[in-house]
Amino acid sequence: MSPVDASAEQSAIDAATALKAERARRRKAADALGWKIIGHTTAEVRCERTLHFGPRTVVIRGRVPVPLPDEMTVAAGERATAEVVDPALEGFQLAMERAAVKILSDPDDLTQKHVFERSSFFTALEDARRGLVQAYQLLENRRVDEKVDAELGLRFYLEGFTTDLRTFEYFVGPTNSGKTHAALEILRASESGIYLAPLRLLALEVYERLNELGATASLVTGEERVINPAARFVSSTVEMVDLRRKLDVAVIDEAQMLEDAQRGWAWTLAIAGVRAKRVVLCGSVEGLHAAQRLADRLGVPMTVRTFERKNPLRVVPAIALTQLRAGDAIVGFSRKAVVEMQSAVAKLGFTSAAIYGSLSPAVRRREAERFRDGSADVLVATDAIGLGLNLPIRRLIFSAIEKFDGVADRLLTPYEVRQIAGRAGRYGIHEDGQVTALNARHIALLRRSLEGHAPAAPTGPIWISPTDDHLERLSKIIGTTRISRLLQFFQTRVLRDGEEDLRIADLSDSIEVAVALELSDGFLNLPFKVRCTYSRAPVTTRGNSLAVLADWGAQHGAHGTVSGRELMNGGRARDRLLLYEDRSRLAMLYLWLSQRFPEVYSNRAEVALIRESIDDDIHSALLERGTGPQKRRSLPKPVRRAPRPRDFGPRRRR
């Protein structure tokens, strides 16, 4: 190697050694400063900034990547990070000031220190952005909640309906015990009164019976009003209770529905608000505890009268379907189960009537009458028969003991078993009521429910639901007129804490309806209370019914008239019965809306005729399904004694 080359090589070695030494020095200096060197040209410098937003202090900590300073000092690190951090902090401060103005209705008055620390300063800065916005939202929510408590008055919901002096009576007993008959006798003997039913069909039965007995009555349901100006009495569904009229007597049936999370609010409203001197509640022992709790909350005295079942109810051994006899009723827990069972019954040579929830009240009534008069040998039904329908059932057969409750399949509760099974053995027609199952393994559950179950006092809340007045007041407090937003606020925020007795009922369906309507063109132009009414429309959220309602709401907003043209033409479907049921529900929806907006839904008479025609189609389809090939016959039909005429006797006893 030449001297020149050797010198060059030594110089390179010296330079590399010097560079290595410099890097070691810098690394040592960085460690002393708490910096972290990344590669050869970048250092992560620890940075902390303290900002003030009104009374709040925000501390942000983390590392900032900067070019490695020539001078390894604290001051050099501060200068390097300032070039990167300060512009970001200016933007952050401006954004938070805007957020405070946008979110808070009044200036921030909460003194609080917020510390956000992450390995990266900018990650901590993003956390601070989200955290401060959330803090403003929580502050504003607290302010709104305080304003709601002060101005909305929901904590005094029950006490706010009436101050009239009243007495409560609870007629407690199982089905077929005569409690409703006794209550209606009190009603009929009064100067004025109202009967409140869980079903339109029951309201119609009592309306007809009162008029037959010379006690002139009007009928009020969601779809129908038959008003007699001279009537002393009204038979109504519970949701349609008139809280303005003063009365002598109010009879509220199936009072155990107070415990129902979906509809319990209607019974709460009726009991708390009906302006009758004497309020008679009829229900099972399960409802007694809930009614007593409500009466205590209202400060109204309540007496209890106990009724015993008129004839015995007993569990008998399981049967095979081939052992079916005339006068039997088979209970399933879905429309599909009923339709399939009808086919199985028809193959055995029996005619059948069908009752399930999606049938219109008129069709249910006609099907029930077919079974009553013996035109149908057997009744196939869901638990829709459990709420007060009076049917001459000799033996009630459970085809299953599980039902879908909207979330999952579950076993029937003892209360549900008793409510359904109690329809067996109509007093005055059958000496006793027999209950059984198609599966022998189910008998034990039936026996435990009917013979060995002592109902415990319920611990559930008193269910309430916001009125239009509550929605309007809340609208002014939170600054929106969107019904969906107001209902969501009620569901998630009102009465969430600190009120053990009251709870808002499940509003999820109403929220879904309101959202669909608000997405339709022109609907938000309608007056506030009109939109409130639409959100309560009895529409299923499955199928196309909700889309049709949204279209009707848009037509209402745009033109002020809704023809209901969707009902004028028939449709085609592989399942004719399902098609008829869908059209029937739409017709009932139109009629419900026509009661509230008669000038908008002006084709009421035509739609009523269409619904009657659809009901005829449904009845014919059910008759066809319930009449199969006559392969065999059962034992002779039992003789059904006619009920005593012109009183509330056996036909209303339970």
Q: What is the DSSP string of 622-643?
A: HHHHTB-------SPPPP-PPP
Is residue 309 helix, strand or coil?
Answer: coil
What is the per-residue pLDDT for 29? 65
- Positive or negative: CA dihedral 107, 109, 115, 116: negative
Please report the DSSP string for 512-545 in residue order. Answer: HHHHHHHTSTTGGGS-HHHHHHHHT----SSTTH
Question: Do residues 343 and 321 touch, judged by C-beta distance below 8 A?
Answer: no
Q: Which two tokens stand for residue 607?
A: 């739609």
Answer whether 469's CB lies under 8 Å from 493's CB.
no
Cα 249 to Cα 210, 484, 644: the distances in Å are 14, 37, 26
The pLDDT of residue 643 is: 42
First to last CA, the chain: 120
8 A C-beta contact, residue 586 and residue 562: no
Give the separation between CA 455 and CA 259, rounded to whole angstroms.
Answer: 13
Contact by Cβ (8 Å): 253, 202: yes
Distance, in Å, from the CA atom of 250 to the CA atom of 280, rounded to the nearest integer, reads 6
Q: Are strands 433-437 and 313-315 parallel, antiparallel or unpaired?
A: parallel
> What is the spatial distance between Cα 477 and Cα 144, in angstroms, rounded to a whole number?
7
Which stretches of the chain score pLDDT less than 50? 630-654
pLDDT at position 10, please? 64
Determine the Cα–Cα distance for residues 284 and 174; give it in Å rounded to an integer. 6
Taking alpha carbons only, the member of 457, 441, 449, 455 closest to residue 414 is 449
For residue 263, the number of C-alpha atoms closer than 13 Å in the C-beta half-sphere is: 12
Tell me how far apart the alpha carbons of residues 128 and 253 are, in angstroms, rounded to a whole number: 57
What's residue 64's pLDDT?
A: 87
| SS3 at position 526 | coil
Q: Do the beta carbons of residue 333 and residue 383 sit within 8 Å?
A: yes
Task: Tell me how far apart the alpha carbons of residues 38 and 40 are, in angstroms, rounded to a whole number.
Answer: 6
The Cα 539–Cα 552 span in angstroms is 12
Measure the CA–CA gap between 484 and 473, rounded to whole angstroms.
Answer: 15
